[in-house]
Every structure is written in C-alpha cells, then in structure tokens.
Chain A
Amino acid sequence: MSSMFSWDFAIGHFPELLKVVPVTLLIAVVSMLLGLVFGLLIALCRIYRVPVLNKLAALYVSFIRGTPMLVQLYVFLYGVPALLEALNNKWGWNLSSDNISPLIFALTAYTINSAAYQSEVVRAALNAIDMSQMEAAYSVGMTTTQSIIRIILPQALVVALPNLANIFIGLIKATSLAFAVKVIDIMAVAKIVSAEGYRFMEMYLGAAIIYWVICFALERLFAVMEKKLRRYESKMV
C-alpha cells in the first residue's frame, strides 16, 4: 500500500501547491503584458526597417527562438552576476546581483523570451492588415501614428489573438522551469515536498492537474474574447 498512490499525501499536500499558484500566474501575466509592449515595439522596428534596430531585433528574436527556455534561464542566472562583475571592474561600480530577488530574474528572462515570440506574431498580424486601411486613414488626414493606433492595431490584435493565446498558455507551462532561477513556483514546491516525503507521483499529479485547470480556464477565456472581438469581421463560414 505504501509504495502505491497515497491519496492522503496527495490531498494533504495539495494546498501547498495551490499556495504558489499566484507566483506562476504573476510571472506569466507580467511577462506576457510586458512582452506584448516590447514585442509591439520590436515588430514596428522590423516593419519600418529602423536602421540598426532592425538587424539587432532580428538577431535577438533568432537567439530567443533558437535556444531552449531552460538554457536562457541559466544564461541569465549565471550571466547577470558575471556581467555585473565585469562592469564593476571596468567602471569601478559596486553593483551586486545578490539583492535581486529570484522573481525579478525570472520576470526579466520570461519577458525577454515572450517579447521575441510576440514580436513575430504582432509583425505577422500588422502585415496581414490590408494597406487600404492605412490609405483610408491617411486620406482623412491622420498621421502614421494615429493610423496605427486607431485603425491598424485594433484590427491586428484581433488577427493576433489566437497566436497570442497560444503563447500565453505556453508561458504558463514554461514557468515550470522558473525553479532553475530559484523561484518557488508550483514545480519547485512539488519537487521539495515530494523529496521530503518520498512521494513523487502524488505531487506531480497534483501539479499537472493545477496546470491543466489553469490552461483550460484560459482556453475558454480566450475563446470568449475572440468571439467578442471578431463580431465586425465577415465570417468565412
């Protein structure tokens, strides 16, 4: 009995998992929102071929898309202190990364990651909007900025929504790697508790259920959002 599944253990320690759900959500939501802002800026740099920034952006997106999230987290974890040390030596500063909380590390890394993916999605969506919408905006006397904000962006965001929803749901699951930078999230708690109690399946099953419920709720939420935002579109079917 003891080596099979223990319901008592699973249910007994489930609340500990629930306690850190806000951490997971925090990382995902903040990274997504900040990532969207930066992603939009990067997309605009790419579309308008801003000198220097255009190539830099392409390089950065390529790197993020070409490396696993875990590797990026480790690069961050070990790279930032090394970078600060180099800067300290060069310019005599006294910066230390010891006081930066793991959460900040995680938020930064996940924001940088999600911004790269979102920039591609936004770029595709902006390009998908017909030039004639822009011309109409110009013809009534709007500036480029006004046209983009009032006409193009709202339409582009609707086009981008399914992909952005995908990225967000992926981000929820990607946060499971945050323990690599010492953040206490769902996976970290699962690992700790299961290691202490020698009961692994119970905790990981619990974690799996939590992730699934969150993602399922998000799926439904985005479906409703999509339906509402698409009301002005002509239907294919």
Chain B
Amino acid sequence: MIEIKAIHKAFGKNEVLKGVDVKVNKGEVVVILGPSGSGKTTLLRCINFLEKADDGELTIGETNIKFKHAAKKDILKVRRQTAMVFQTYNLFNNKTALENVMEGLITARNVPRNEAEKLSLKMLDKVGLSDKYNAYPNQLSGGQQQRVGIARALALNPEVILFDEPTSALDPELVGEVLTVMKNVAKEGMTMIVVTHEMSFANEIASRVIFMDGGVVVEEGTPHEIFNHPKEERTKLFLRRIVPDWNYVI
C-alpha cells in the first residue's frame, strides 16, 4: 500500500505540485495522465526521492516518511522498496543486460551472486530477452533496453514499480512489445504507478486513472469513468485533444 499525502514541490518560484493526495492499494495499476508540466513525472520522482519534495508525507508498506528533512536512511529504505522504469531506459552502460538486472540485487540488497544470477535470468526470460543476456545496452534496440529496464525493476521485487513514460521514447513499432510486457507484469499482481500517454493501455490495464493538471489532481476514477464520463472540464478538454488511438466500443 502506497499513500502520498499533501505533497508540495516547487522548483524555485515554479510550484509544480500544489498539494496532491494519492493512494495506491496492493496490486492496483494506477495510471497518471496529464499535460506536460502537470507535475505527474515530478510526483513519481518524489516517491523514490529522485526529487526532494518540499512538504507532505509518504507511506509505503510499514514505512512512513515526511518529505521535509527526510533522513538519508529513510530515503534509502524507500528506494529499496521501490523500483523505477525510466523514459530513457537508463541502463547501466558499462554492464551487460544480465549484469544490469543483477546489479541492484547484489549491491543494494546483498543477494549472493549465483542466486542473483538465477533470478535475473528468470526475469530476462519473462520479458523475452534470455538470448540477449550478454549484450551491452548499446547493442540493444530501444524496446529491448526498456524491457531489460523492466526486468531490472522486476528482479528487485519491489512494493511498487514506478513507470515514468516508459514508451514515450520508443518508435511506434517497439511500443507494443513493451506494453505487452507491462500488461503481463500487471496481470501477475504487481503494484504499478504509470505515467503515460498511452490511452488504450490505460483503458485496458489500469485499475484507476488519475488526471493531473497544473500541479493538482483534477479527477480520478476507473478508466471507464474517466474516458467515457469525465466530469471536469479540464479532463474533457485534455481527452478531446489526445484520443488518436482510441477504440470506441459500441
């Protein structure tokens, strides 16, 4: 269970998060939608303290932390309960695919090497890349790199996986393969918070959709509620503009 209460974050004079509350239950897939600058990526990055929020509190599982003056060891604790999949994949360039997946286990979680290797190979298999275990990131396509990134996150068995626009940097052909992997991850019961523009993915997989704009949550509900019966004007405006891949079910 992940809960964020009253999170505030400003970059200089620019207030990006103006008091947001989010609650994610175990096994839920929460998709966050919104225009650029709405704060959705900042929100995600505040969860694992890649950005330091100014105010508010975070609860993950048993751990509760106030964002203001968060202690180093608490930050480390949260980072070891979460995993992130980045828009730019961010694989460790000096390590092979297998080593990428193993790295967090060995270094941050003190898993013995051969155990980590076995687990990592299993994860690479899960994302369909067992034959590429020895390849370096620069030898992999974008979609393959992202799938390794997902395998890396899965191997850590976190409380929640944070997806920061995982398919935004991929060309359309490769988007599908990554979304398929993400759907499988969701089906296996992993708690996921996904920031994305892929509407049909959200519609298919999300337990809940949150629409953010201007640093606040404008509306939230099930995919059906948000996509078919949006209540707020801003939500309607946003959806009207970004529905190229929408499938209408009559």
Contacts and interface: CB of A to CB of B under 8 A. Distances in A.
Interface of A: 132-133, 135-143, 146, 150-151, 154-155, 158, 231-234
Contact of B93 (A139, A141, A232): A232
B79 A139 contact: yes
Interface magnitude class on chain B: 20 to 34
A186 B202 CA distance: 73
Interface in B135-170: 136-138, 152, 156
Given A151-B92, A232-B94, A142 B108 contact: yes
B88 A139 contact: no
A151 B90 CA distance: 12
Contacts of B84: 136, 139
B76 A154 contact: no
A146 B83 contact: no
B86 A150 contact: no
B113 to A, nearest CB: 14
B23 interface: no
A141 B80 contact: yes
A142 B107 contact: yes
B108 A141 contact: yes
Interface string B24-55: 00000000000000000000000011100000
Interface string B186-225: 0000000000000000000000000000000000000000
B50 A155 contact: no
Given A138-B50, A140-B108, A232-B138, A154 B83 contact: no
Contacts of B138: 232-234
The 6 A-B residue pairs with the shortest CB-CB distance in the complex, in nearest-first order: A140-B104, A141-B108, A141-B80, A136-B90, A139-B84, A232-B136
B4 interface: no
B250 to A, nearest CB: 42
B104 A154 contact: no
A155 B94 CA distance: 6
Contacts of A132: 86, 88, 90
Contacts of A234: 138
Contacts of A231: 136
B88 A138 contact: no
A138 B79 contact: yes
Interface of B: 48-50, 76, 79-80, 82-84, 86, 88, 90-95, 103-104, 107-109, 136-138, 152, 156
A233 B107 CA distance: 23
Interface of A is mostly: helix
Nearest to B84: A139
Of listed A138, A139, A232, residue having the most chain B CB within 10 A: A139
A143 B83 contact: no
Contacts of B76: 141, 143
A150 B103 contact: yes
A68 to B, nearest CB: 38
B149 to A, nearest CB: 8
29 contacts: A133-B90, A133-B93, A135-B50, A135-B86, A136-B84, A136-B90, A136-B91, A138-B49, A138-B79, A139-B50, A139-B83, A139-B86, A140-B79, A140-B83, A140-B103, A140-B104, A140-B108, A140-B156, A141-B79, A141-B156, A143-B108, A151-B94, A151-B95, A151-B103, A154-B94, A231-B136, A232-B138, A233-B138, A234-B138
A233 B48 CA distance: 29
B62 to A, nearest CB: 17
Contact of B104 (A135, A141, A158): A141
A146 B104 CA distance: 10
A233 B83 contact: no
A154 B94 CA distance: 7
